[in-house]
Amino acid sequence: MLAATFGFHDFRPGQADIVSAVLNGEDVLAVLPTGAGKSLCYQLPALLRGGLTVVVSPLIALMRNQVAQLDGYGIAAACLNSTNSPEDNARAIAGVRDGSLRLLYAAPERLRLSGTIDLLRSANVTMLAIDEAHCISQWGHDFRPDYLVLGDLRRELSGAQTIALTATADAATRADIVSRLFAETPRIFVHGFDRPNIRLDIRPKELATGQLLAFIEAHKGEAGIVYCGTRKKTEELAQKFRAAGHRATAYHAGLEASVREAAQDLFLSAPGVVACATVAFGMGIDKPDVRFVAHADMPKSIESWYQEIGRAGRDGKPADTLTLYGLDDIQFRRQQIASGDASEEQQRVERRRLDAVVALMESPRCFRQTLLSYFGETTQPCGNCTICSGAVEMVDGTVSAQKAMSAMLRSGERFGREHLIDILLGEVTPGITRHGHDALPTFGAGKEHDRKDWRAVLRQVYAAGLAEVDVAGHGSWLVTDAGRDVLYGRATFAMRKFDRKAAKRARRGAAAPADMSNADAALLADLKAFRSVQARERSVPAYVVFSDQSLIDMAARRPRTLAEFREVHGVGDAKLRAWGPLFIARIKAFIDME
Q: Which pLDDT does position 511 carry in this prediction?
A: 33
Q: Which pLDDT does position 59 carry in this prediction?
A: 78
Q: Which of 254-258, 468-472, 500-504 has the lowest mean pLDDT?
A: 500-504
Q: What average pLDDT score do residues 145-163 get? A: 88
Q: Would you say residue 509 has pLDDT above 50?
A: no
Please return the burial class of 430, using the count of CB atoms within 10 Å of its CB with bins 0-12, 13-18 and 19+.
Answer: exposed
DSSP 87-149: HHHHHHHHHHHHT--SEEEE-TTGGGSHHHHHHHHTS-EEEEEESSGGGG-TTSTT--GGGGG
Q: What average pLDDT score do residues 565-576 get? A: 82
Pick 14 or 501 by higher pLDDT. Answer: 14
Whole-number percent of the chain with pLDDT over 90: 42
Q: Would you say residue 512 has pLDDT above 50?
A: no
pLDDT tens figures, 454-499: 988 888 888 788 998 876 667 789 999 999 999 999 999 988 876 4
CB 29 within 8 A of CB 186: yes
- Positive or negative, the CA dihedral 345, 347, 348, 350 is positive
Q: Which pLDDT does position 337 carry in this prediction?
A: 84
Q: Which pLDDT does position 282 carry in this prediction?
A: 67
Q: Which pLDDT does position 112 carry in this prediction?
A: 84
Q: Which pLDDT does position 473 carry in this prediction?
A: 63
Q: Which pLDDT does position 492 carry in this prediction?
A: 94
pLDDT tens figures, 389-448: 877 777 899 999 999 999 999 999 999 989 999 999 999 999 999 999 999 999 999 999
Q: What average pLDDT score do residues 235-262 get? A: 92
Q: Which pLDDT does position 322 carry in this prediction?
A: 96
Q: Which pLDDT does position 286 carry in this prediction?
A: 65
CA 96/CA 102 separation, integer angstroms: 8
Q: Would you say residue 328 has pLDDT above 70?
A: yes
Q: Would you say residue 335 has pLDDT above 70?
A: yes
Pick 504 or 428 by higher pLDDT. Answer: 428
CA 467/CA 407 separation, integer angstroms: 12
pLDDT tens figures, 72-91: 788 999 999 877 888 988 99
- Read off the pLDDT band of 541 (50, 70, 90): low
Q: Would you say residue 517 has pLDDT above 60?
A: no
Q: Which pLDDT does position 592 carry in this prediction?
A: 77
Domains of the chain: 2-190 (3.40.50.300), 198-326 (3.40.50.300), 394-496 (1.10.10.10), 519-593 (1.10.150.80)
Angle between helices 500-507 and 451-463 (to 10 degrees): 140
Q: Would you say residue 387 has pLDDT above 50?
A: yes
Q: Would you say residue 31 has pLDDT above 60?
A: yes
For the chain, what is the mean pLDDT? 86
CA 255/CA 261 separation, integer angstroms: 10
For the ranges 339-353, 432-446, 568-582, the maximum mean pLDDT occurs at: 432-446
Residue 385 sits at φ, ψ, to 5 deg, of -150, 175
For the ranges 243-247, 330-334, 459-463, 539-543, the maximum mean pLDDT occurs at: 243-247
Pick 537 or 233 by higher pLDDT. Answer: 233
Q: Would you say residue 506 has pLDDT above 70?
A: no
pLDDT tens figures, 45-61: 999 988 999 999 887 77
Secondary structure class of 342 (helix, strand, coil): coil
Q: What average pLDDT score do residues 310-329 get? A: 87
Beta bridge partners of 477: 469
Pick 408 or 520 by higher pLDDT. Answer: 408
Q: Would you say residue 158 has pLDDT above 90?
A: no
How far is CA 356 from each of CA 279, 336, 370, rounded to the nearest angstrom? 19, 17, 10
pTM: 0.62
Whole-number percent of the chain with pLDDT over 70: 93
Residue (of 245, 275, 283) closest to 259 by Cα position = 275
Q: Which pLDDT does position 394 carry in this prediction?
A: 79
Beta bridge partners of 78: 104
How far is CA 15 from each of CA 8, 37, 190, rounded to the nearest angstrom? 12, 7, 11
Q: Which pLDDT does position 213 carry in this prediction?
A: 95
